[in-house]
Amino acid sequence: MHSLSSSSASLSSVPSHHPRHPPSVPLPTLRFCGLRPEALFPRPLSLYSSCSSPARRSARRLRSTVLVSASAGNGPPSKFDYDLVIIGAGVGGHGAALHAVEKGLKTAIIEGDVVGGTCVNRGCVPSKALLAVSGRMRELQSDHHLKSLGLQVAAAGYDRQGVADHANNLASKIRSNLTNSMKALGVDILTGVGTILGPQKVKYGKDNIITAKNIIIATGSVPFVPKGIEVDGKTVITSDHALKLEFVPDWIAIVGSGYIGLEFSDVYTALGSEVTFVEALDQLMPGFDPEIGKLAQRVLINPRNIDYHTGVFASKITPARDGKPVMIELIDAKTKEPKDTLEVDAALIATGRAPFTNGLGLENINVVTQRGFVPVDERMRVIDADGKLVPHVYCIGDANGKMMLAHAASAQGISVVEQVTGKDHILNHLSIPAACFTHPEISMVGLTEPQAKEKADKDGFTISVAKTSFKANTKALAENEGEGLAKMIYRPDNGEILGVHIFGLHAADLIHEASNAIALGTKIQDIKFAVHAHPTLSEVLDELFKSAKVNSPVSSPVSEPVGV
Amino acid sequence: MANSLLHSSKLSFSSSFPSLLLPPPSRVRRTAPSFSVNAKIREIFMPALSSTMTEGKIVSWVKSEGDVLSKGESVVVVESDKADMDVETFYDGILVAIVVPEGESAPVGAPIGILAESEEEIAEAKAKAASASAGGGGGSGGAQTSSALPVAPAVTASPAPAIPQPSPPASAAAPSGGGTPGKLIATPAAKKLAKQHKVDLNKIAGTGPFGRVTPADVEAAAGIVKPPPKSVATTAAEPAKAVAAGTGGGAKELPPPLPGSSIVPFSTMQAAVSKNMVESLSVPTFRVGYPVSTNALDALYEKVKPKGVTMTAILAKAAAMALVQHPVVNATCKDGKSFTYNSNINIAVAVAINGGLITPVLQDADKLDLYLLSQKWKELVDKARSKQLQPHEYNSGTFTLSNLGMFGVDRFDAILPPGQGAIMAVGASKPTVVAGSDGFFSVKSKMQVNVTADHRIIYGADLAAFLQTFAKIIENPEGLTL
């Protein structure tokens, strides 16, 4: 039987209880969200009272799980302080922690900065707030569009500080939601930088040492700034600074045309800036399916105040100072010859993200990072310098570099918890959707057409491509947003969905039907019979499934999940 | 019809494109006489694949030079601003030459390839193609807008307007204030505009920060008057702008006031004038002038003046009498769809009072006699001075009279006030030398009358006829005193 850690007691006014406490400990389930606190306290605690009823139901379900696991007698009490310690309280760590509690693990999460990590504080969340503004600005500025709807709007304007506040308030709100959800479930939030001291031993803060049966590294990433670029946080910035929207430059160069660059180009152009993309590869939006990229370029780049330089590196960027603008020296990506110099008002570095793994103490467990990433196998188990698995240490999220998306990190964390609680699990990364929240949105899951072709050639099968247009969708036309394309790459022989790519209104919300089908192994010949409400945008996918020509009338068994 | 391309789409989502590109027939007819031997040689044009397409990029040539084509076959894939489209030939023949190679762009209507009907024409067609591509300077060449069609394209393929490249070499252009001297810096929007309006960026002096060329510079160079700018990067609190934009008026970015200048807000009356003036811009007006001889009128005025009759009353009465015969000039266009004929003739007369402008109305001016009218006018002016005019006494006008003759103004234009069909601007009566039809000179007093009218309801002939009637009344003023 282990004692309560002092830190957890101090973090919460309610005593910490763990499911594995013997039944003699009073009220073992008190900590769970919404579990009849009214019976114990004269007035409901604000935390509890804010719980919505679905949360209460899940908590109740949770308790029964816990009781079952307790009565099943999960062996003698652990000799460790925690069953699971997660280093990093971003979305990945949060997802892992919640699932760990559900599985009955005593869990702590170490955070050296703020709860929520990149996604909540400097990434997906505040950027969605800015994009919500840019989407509305676009609508209000589109005279043609408004006119065709019969609307008349006087000139639209915005207040920069108001927009910035909206993003900041959203981040704070989501951060406190995340913190509360973990606290309410009994996850200990330990503050300080976490360092692995040795097998199953972690230090956090100055000198607090705890032991853990299993450790998950979930330290995430920071913006990657290539050599030669001087970030001053004012005129040469990363997404960290841009999300604060401290100023809206007349002309901003965005280095990198991936998700981050594209989303910011949407925000900046809607707010009146002109944008110049600098892309090292030969075409914009590398990584997207080429056909989708091309269409997206027609809609998101060409008609807007955006120009671009492709096939060039920004070899040197100097912030604006001494009465000079921001200077960007471009060199040819292949020959390294100097090509041009740009003079702009600001530069946003969106060249990707670098893992944040320094100071983790990886040397103490003989792990050497690869370009900063922690090497892992398909089960997120950390691999040491000798190529052997390090027992009890896992790494999820951006720090392992498999798929640098918040929800991928969370899914990886859940997969790890499944494994440490005795159920083998391999995450199928090809079923993880991705989205870019431009106007309109881009989303995708699985393979692009070239990737699918390559795989087909290698494995000896053929692929087909089905496409549907938003132009034929009633709801899209009602919204006057007919621009868009959905595309599916599939195997005509067995109806397997290999990849789905959508560009159009609410594409990010539409992708899940396809990603769920891939995750569950649902075949086209089966899903095409599923019914979609009319008129909805989801009918774009309905049509997509129906337009596919599958030669196999019989549904085959679910394919084995594939790890990456 | 000769040279045509039919394009069709492979993609189901591109159904909104025009279906057929037919070059103007004039082109063919005018070409044929001088190049009759070329009749069997056809050009393939860059088709307009969408209503907004101005130029297209050749994605790929499906056919190669020397390939035999049959009607309906895909020849080339063109990328427009919207989609990639397969373009089909409308004629059988041999693809002799590709004028615009893959990856390059050409304006809509420019030749992109040469088609010969039979092998006999190949050599000739090749020569034609050579001249086309030589003259056009390759890719974006043959660049010839469809408005410049009358001459045979192969011969005239004029040098393409240089399309500014994103990063032209250093040139002696933009004066730079802090940036790299001598280097042309243009913003993305400026480049787009320059391309659209075919403006050479190198010839524009940038006025933006660090001497860069801004979209406004390009528009100025292209001679474009900017529509009211959308307030994008400014704060929302600009009600004046919103009002102006709502009425289609020109809300301009004003320069900051000069040092020492003072700002005096409009009074209520001035604000109303301002609003009306901006609103008037939404009405399509035109003007017709007429010289009216006033000798007889002056004589009459001398007679009736002692009885308290004013010139204003005389003019109002004359206008009202003319309006009776031309009711359309007394009408109003309220909704842009119909005539509203007014049952009364109410003459509003513009008066400058206490730094403002107001239009007291002489109601039923056609029915009252000159003396009553003069009396009424005096009352109205007194009320206006003491700011006691009732709304129906200044806003019920159906026709406005504005007279600046007493200042010696010989002619002027008036702005049509909203809600009325016409306004008359009367200048001073001046002795004028007139050549008579009998060959003798004489001196007569003439005054210039200009009428501004809403052309949606009042046409030139209506106004001319009205003015003729008005002139007759003034020149034979006996009727006024009846």
Check pLDDT > 70 for residue B93: yes
Chain B residues touching residue A248 (CB < 8 angstroms)? 233
What pLDDT band is residue A476 in, cutting at 50, 70 and 90? very high
Closest CA to A560 of A527, A515, A516, A520: A520
Type of residue at B123: A
B interface test, pick of A268, A307, A467, A502 with most B CB neighbours within 10 Å: A307
Residues of A with CB below 8 A from B193's CB? Answer: none
The pLDDT assigned to B359 comes to 87
Q: What percent of chain A has pLDDT over 90?
A: 75
What's the average model confidence in pLDDT over B329-354?
Answer: 88
- pLDDT-derived band at A168 (thresholds 50, 70, 90) equals very high
DSSP A301: I
B365 class by beta-carbon count within 10 Å (0-12 exposed, 13-18 middle, 19+ buried): buried
pLDDT at B58 over 60: yes
Residues recorded for chain A: 564
Q: What is the pLDDT of residue A187?
A: 95
* Main-chain phi, psi angles of A358, to 5 degrees: -70, 145
The alpha carbons of chain A give a radius of gyration, in whole angstroms, of 25
Residues with Cβ within 8 Å of residue A120, at least 6 apart in sequence: A90, A91, A171, A174, A175, A178
B238 and A251: CB-CB below 8 Å? Answer: no
pLDDT higher than 60, residue A517: yes
> Fold match between B158-223 and B282-481?
no
Residue A308 structure tokens = 């671009």
Least confident range of A11-15, B149-153, B360-364: B149-153
Tell me: pLDDT of B236 over 60.
no
Span A29-58, average pLDDT: 41
Distance of CA A530 to the CA centre of its chain: 28
pLDDT tens-digit profile of A100-133? 999 999 999 999 999 999 999 999 999 999 999 9
Among B232, B235, B243, B252, the residue to mutate for chain A (most A Cβ within 10 A)? B232
> B390 vs B192, which has greater pLDDT?
B192
Domain spans in chain B, listed from the N-terminal domain onward: 2-34, 39-149, 158-223, 227-254, 282-481
Three-state SS for B442-463 is EEEEEEEEEEEEECCCCCHHHH
Mean pLDDT across B66-83: 79
**Which of B167, B209, B231 has the CB atom closest to A155's CB atom?**
B231
Mean pLDDT of A474-486: 93
Q: Which chain A positions have a beta carbon within 8 Å of B77's beta carbon? A: none
Distances (CA, A) of A404 to A41, A215, A449: 44, 20, 21
Q: Which of A98-102, A177-181, A408-412, B386-390 has the lowest mean pLDDT?
A: B386-390
Judge whether A461 is closer than 8 Å to chain B, CB to CB.
no
Backbone angles phi, psi at A385, to 5 degrees: -60, -25
Task: Read off the tokens for A453.
Answer: 């072709």
pLDDT in tens, B24-44: 444 444 433 434 444 577 888
Q: Is B197 a catalytic residue?
A: no
Pairwise CA distance, residues A361 & A217, whole Å: 11
- Judge contact between A350 and A261, C-beta under 8 A: yes
Architecture of domain B282-481: 2-Layer Sandwich (3.30)
Q: Check CB contact under 8 Å for A152 and B192.
A: no
Average pLDDT on A323-339 reads 93
The answer to whether the CB atoms of B238 and A470 lie below 8 A apart is: no
Higher pLDDT, B155 or A364: A364
Amino acid at A34: G
Dihedral, CA of residue A403, residue A405, residue A408 and residue A413, to nearest 10: 100
The CATH number that domain B39-149 falls under is 2.40.50.100
Q: What is the mean pLDDT of residues B416-436?
A: 90
Which of A139-153, A268-282, B145-159, B383-397 shows the highest mean pLDDT? A268-282
Over residues A175-201, mean pLDDT: 94
The per-residue pLDDT of chain B, averaged, comes to 75
Q: What is the pLDDT of residue B82?
A: 63
CB–CB of A158 and B236 under 8 A?
Answer: yes
Instruction: Decide if B235 and A248 are in contact by the 8 Å CB cutoff.
Output: no
Give the mean model confidence (pLDDT) for residues A4-27. Answer: 42
In single-letter form, the type of residue at position B65 comes to E
Contact A155 B81 (CB under 8 A): no
Identify the burial level of A50 via C-beta atoms within 10 angstroms of its C-beta, where 0-12 means exposed, 13-18 middle and 19 or more buried.
Answer: middle
Q: SS3 of A61, please?
A: helix
CB pairs below 8 Å between A and B: how many?
A: 103
**Span B186-221, pLDDT tens digits:** 999 999 888 888 888 888 888 888 889 998 888 888
Residue the block writes with tokens 């019914």? A531
What pLDDT does residue B419 have? Answer: 87
Catalytic center residues of A: 534
How close is the nearest chain A Cα to the Cα of B114, in Å? 29
Chain B: nearest CA to A121, how far in angstroms? 26
For residue A168, give both structure tokens: 């900041």
CA atoms within 13 A on the CB side of A509: 7
Q: Which residues in A lie closer than 8 A to residue B242 (C-beta atoms)?
A: 154-155
Give the closest-approach CA distance of B168 to chain A in angstroms: 10
Under the banding of pLDDT at 50, 70 and 90, the label for residue A512 is: very high
Question: pTM of the prediction?
Answer: 0.59
Q: Does B18 or A324 have the greater pLDDT score?
A: A324
Q: How far apart are CA B465 and CA B472, in angstroms?
A: 11
Q: Give the per-residue pLDDT at A47.
A: 39
Please report which helix (H) or strand (E) contains residue A457, including its range: helix A449-459
**C-alpha angle B174/B180/B185, rounded to 5°?**
45
The angle subtended at Cα B56 by Cα B54 and Cα B59, nearest 5°, is: 170
Contact A152 B246 (CB under 8 A): yes
Give the separation between CA B193 and CA A423, rounded to whole angstroms. 62
Architecture of domain B158-223: Irregular (4.10)
Report the pLDDT value the prediction gives residue A414, as an integer from 0 to 100: 97
Contact between chains at A271 and B15 (C-beta distance less than 8 A): no
Q: Please, which residues have CB within 8 angstroms of residue A342's CB and are 6 or more apart in sequence?
A: A253, A276, A278, A309, A326, A327, A328, A330
The percent of residues in chain B predicted with pLDDT above 90, rounded, is: 21
Residue B219 · residue B208 · CB < 8 Å: no
pLDDT tens, position by position, B142-160: 333 333 333 333 333 333 3
The mean-pLDDT minimum among A101-110, A139-148, A209-218, B318-327 falls in: A139-148
B82, B231, B246: residue with CB nearest A298: B82
Position B81 pLDDT exceeds 50:
yes
By mean pLDDT, which of A231-245, A407-421, B73-87 is the weakest?
Answer: B73-87
What pLDDT score was predicted for residue B231?
43
Alpha-carbon gap, residue B232 to B383, rounded angstroms: 47
- 3 state DSSP class of A142: coil
The model's confidence at residue B254, banded by pLDDT at 50, 70 and 90, is low
Q: How far apart are CA B149 and CA B135, in angstroms?
A: 15
Least confident of A105-109, A137-141, A542-546: A137-141
Contact criterion met (CB below 8 Å) for A91 and A123: no
Whether residue A247 lies within 8 A of chain B, CB to CB, comes out as no
Q: Which of B187, B209, B238 sits opposite A157 (nearest CB)?
A: B238
Q: Are the beta carbons of A250 and B209 separated by less than 8 Å?
A: yes
